[in-house]
Amino acid sequence: NIVIEQVERDVRVLSRVLAQSISISQQLPNQVEDVLGHGMQATATSLSHFVAAAEMAGKKPAEIQRSLREIIASSMISEIWITDPKGKAYLYAPLEGVDFTFSPDAKAQPQASAFWPLITGQATFINQPMMSREIDGKNYKYVGVPGVDKHRIVQVGTLGDTLIALRDAVGLPKLVRLMVNQGALKAIVVVQQDMTPVASEMANSSDGQQLTAQQNNILRQVMASGKGHTEIVSDHIEVFQPIS
């Protein structure tokens, strides 16, 4: 009984740690992304002034694009898209030969259409969360500002790999993996209320932990009642604990 009580206390503490980890893993990447977006805004605003000055000085598109590629090579920016008043991207880097026109149709362009208000004057800054883009389905974060000389979109983007890596680094799956790998726990499984897996790890297994039908039933009862439950199995103790 003493051992069981200690295990139950440990799991209650663990559930509070997991709850805090979930909160941090949800908030921190979003906060970092927001700060990143404001840094990208400064670059986009500078580009808006640069393009206006370059075109006024008679620079040809090919010359401007060379400068854009140099900017990308020396910064965290992965892409630059600059349009005409109709939304057609005619200055871009580093891609070559791309024929892309921004549209206000959210059904046709779920990601890119969000920047159309920069052309109409309805927005002066768009800090779009990382999402899959229309061209190739890759995850990108984009920020845009309007032109200073004409109605246009000046957009900068960065590949989402860094943000995805950050989410993984502070995410619940990594914390669960670390806890099990320390050797005190045989397995941890975290599910949402609809029983969708959030994270799972089992010692000496690369496939995580698959719950049995009985374990799933117990979990449903625990989530419905809000009270923990303990099962004594032949070679281990299973504790089911709700996370608030």
Q: What is the mean pLDDT of each run of 10 residues along the chain (244 residues)?
A: 79 79 74 88 96 96 93 90 96 84 95 97 95 87 96 95 78 83 85 87 77 91 90 86 84
pTM of the model: 0.67
Instruction: Count CA atoms closer than 13 A to 213's CA, side-chain side.
Output: 0
Percent of the chain residues topping a pLDDT of 90: 48
Looking at residue 116, the DSSP 8-state letter turns out to be T
The pLDDT score that the predictor gives to residue 208 is 65
Nearest residue to 66 via CA among 96, 39, 87: 96
**In degrees, to the nearest 5, what angle opens at C-alpha 178 toward C-alphas 19 and 138?**
80
The pLDDT score that the predictor gives to residue 66 is 92
Asked whether 148 and 56 are in contact (CB, 8 A), the reply is no
Distance CA 4, CA 120 (A): 66
Asked whether 158 and 78 are in contact (CB, 8 A), the reply is yes
Asked whether 188 and 201 are in contact (CB, 8 A), the reply is yes
The pLDDT score that the predictor gives to residue 178 is 85
DSSP state letters, 144-181: EEE-SSSS-EEEEEEETHHHHHHHHHHSHHHHHHHHHH
Task: Give the pLDDT confidence of 127-144 residue by residue, as tens digits.
Answer: 999 998 888 888 999 999
The pLDDT score that the predictor gives to residue 167 is 75
